[in-house]
Amino acid sequence: MPVHDPERFTSALRDLESEVDSSAAPYVEEALERVATPTSPGLAGPDESVEVSPEEIADRIDHTQLRPAATDGQIDQLCEEAMTYGFTAACIHPTFVPRVARQLDGTNVTPCTVVGFPHGANRTATKAQEAKRAVADGARELDMVLAIGAVTSGRYADAEADIRAVVTAARDQEDAVGGRVPVKVILETALLTTAQMAVACVIAHQAGADFVKTSTGFASAGARAEDVALMRQVVGDALGVKASGGVGSVADFRRMIAHGATRVGASGSVAIMEEARATA
């Protein structure tokens, strides 16, 4: 069953194309091309055949602690839980990156941090410097916030340049750190229309990002299955899709994966894992 009404969604993109200037129109045209043939997972609906074991669930979770008042003790607990349950990454604020990198050194858990968080309204040079410092401090994945206002204003080339600056900062340090540093772009889907969301995915792809991500967890809504499906449709197999915000149960997790997510960010990861193990 289609996740979005194809005719209504195409109409929304056409309306957006008529509103933006000529320099922005190619981004909308690319989005139109990518949604022309619905896929599953994607706009054609979820992949209902998806089954995941507890180990596979853990391997797709970014265990997250981004509360503003998080303590050293809570960060240490996050690391311990990530190692115990085998989560793929531990996502924390930049100030905690050195502490987390030390604790996770020699483990399979990746230190991950945020850039331009939570509003994405920093100057581009500031985001690039933040990314550079985060990698130098030990971060090996970066979740950056889209220049949301640039997208809602129709300044798509500016939004692309903003992402590209962070991607370049990460790529420039890959030889020094011995591997790729993936960049995930947080769209903050609650603040975008579906048409803007599709265009934002095009922007992230063209800027060289590795993932698109739904939410910071600090807006009015988090991950929604229909948004994940739209993001998967637009990026295809070229990028990962991270669902983040409000994923608190095994059912939530499976719904996001079925709709096209390849990674899930959660602060309630331990509860998800305990439920998964109890019902395996």
Active centre residues (catalytic): 143, 213, 242
Tell which residue, 173, 69, 68, has the closest CA to residue 114. Answer: 68
Contact predicate 243/223, CB 8 Å:
yes
Question: Token pair for residue 242?
Answer: 């991270």
Residues 90-120 as b or e (16 or more Cβ within 10 Å = b): bbbbbebbebbbebbeeeebbbbbbbbbbbb
Instruction: For the chain, count helices (H), then strands (E).
Output: 13, 8
> How many CB atoms within 10 Å of residue 53?
11
Tokens of 123: 């100057």
Cβ contact 275:249 at 8 Å: yes
Q: Which residue has the tokens 């370049």?
A: 168
Strands 61-65 and 263-266: parallel
